[in-house]
Amino acid sequence: MNEAFFFGPAARQLFGNYHAPAGGDGQVLTVICPPLFFDYMRTQPTLRRLAISLAERSQHVLRFDYRGTGDSFGEPGEVTVSDWVEDIALAVREGLDISGSQKVRLLGVRASALLACRSLGAVSNFQRLVLWDPVPDGAAYLQEIRGVQAILVQRHLRLSRDEHHQGILEYAGHPVSERMLNEFRLLDASAYSVVPSSKLQVVSTSPVKPFPVAGVSQNVAPVACNWEMDTEEPFMPQSVLLERLIVCLTTP
C-alpha cells in the first residue's frame, strides 16, 4: 500500500509517500532522503521501486520531498541546507508516528548523504545509515551543478543576454540563496566521520571513486549513473543496484 500525504507544520508542509509493510507487522522504518537538483527527477523511478521492494520485505518506508523541492511547500530560493537537515528529522518523526517502529534506517542519495549525516543528532532510534554514491563535499557538488547548468544555458541559443546571465547564476534552473550556498560549502568529509563505522554502509556505482573516510568499505554496483552528465533523463532501476541497496537496508 502506498499513501501520499502532507505532514509537518502548516507553513512548511512536506510531501510524503508512505509504503506499508507486507503483512503489516514490520519493525523497521526506512526513510529515503532523496537527492537534490538535477539528481532528484533522475532517481525517482529507482527510489520508488526500492521503496516497494523494501515494503515487500516487511519494512515501513517513507519517501519525502524537502522544502522547496518536488511537491513540498516553499521555493528553492527561500530554503537553506539547515532547513533540509531539519526536514529529515521531521520525516523520521512522522514515520515513527505512522509505523510504531523501534528501529530507523536512513538512505541518503548523493548530496543528501551529507544532509543525512548532519541530521543524526536529532534522529531517535537510529540504527543504520546507507549512502548511495555520496558526494565528497558540498563545494565540489556545487561546482558540478554549475558546470551542468552552464552547458544547458549554452544550448538555449534564443535566450536574451539578460536571460543568459540569469541562467548562469541558477542551480538546476532555480535561484538559490547565498546562505544556502555558504552552508553547502561548509559541508565536507567531516560530516561522514561522525557516523560510527558500524552503522554506516556505502553503495557506489563506481569502483574508482573512494569514499572520503578511510576504513569504510564500499558495496560496488557497477552501473553507469553518469551523475556529471547534463541530462535529466530518468535513471531506470537496475537490478544489481537495487539488490545492493536492499541488502544494505534489510540485513539485520
Q: Is residue 149 part of a domain?
A: no
Is 48 domain-assigned?
A: yes
Residue 44 maps to which CATH number? 3.40.50.1820
Q: Is the pLDDT of residue 166 over 70?
A: no
What does the alpha-carbon distance between residue 88 and residue 62 come to, in Å, rounded to a whole number? 11
pLDDT of residue 25: 78
What is the pTM (predicted TM-score) of this model? 0.92
Q: Are 43 and 34 in contact (CB under 8 A)?
A: yes
- Mean pLDDT, range 97-125, rounded to an integer: 94
pLDDT tens digits for 1-18?
A: 889 999 999 989 999 999
With respect to residue 232, please indicate whether it lies within any of the assigned structural domains.
yes
Supply the pLDDT for residue 226.
Answer: 79
In a domain, 245, yes or no: yes
Specify if 116 maps to a domain.
yes
Over residues 19-67, the pLDDT tens digits come to 999 987 789 999 999 999 888 988 999 999 999 999 999 999 999 999 9
Of 158 and 195, the one with more pLDDT: 195
pLDDT the model gives residue 225 = 82
Asked which of 70-74, 170-174, 212-216, 220-224 is least confident by mean pLDDT, the reply is: 170-174
How confident is the model at residue 217, as a pLDDT? 80
In this predicted structure, the answer to whether residue 163 has a pLDDT above a threshold of 70 is no
Q: Name the least confident of 87-96, 113-122, 140-149, 160-169.
A: 160-169
Residue 158 has a pLDDT of 65
145 in any annotated domain: no
pLDDT at 77 over 80: yes
CA 60, CA 226: separation in Å to the nearest integer?
30
* Apex 149 CA angle, 17 and 66, nearest 5: 20
Q: What is the mean pLDDT of the chain?
A: 88
Q: How confident is the model at residue 160 (pLDDT cuts 50, 70, 90)?
A: low
179 in a structural domain: no
Residue pLDDT, tens place only, 211-229: 888 888 889 898 888 787 6
Selected residue with higher pLDDT from 156 and 179: 179
Give the domain range for residue 6: 2-137+188-250
Please indicate, yes or no, if residue 182 is contained in any of the structural domains: no
Number of domains, the chain: 1
Looking at the predicted structure, is the pLDDT value of residue 168 above 70?
A: no
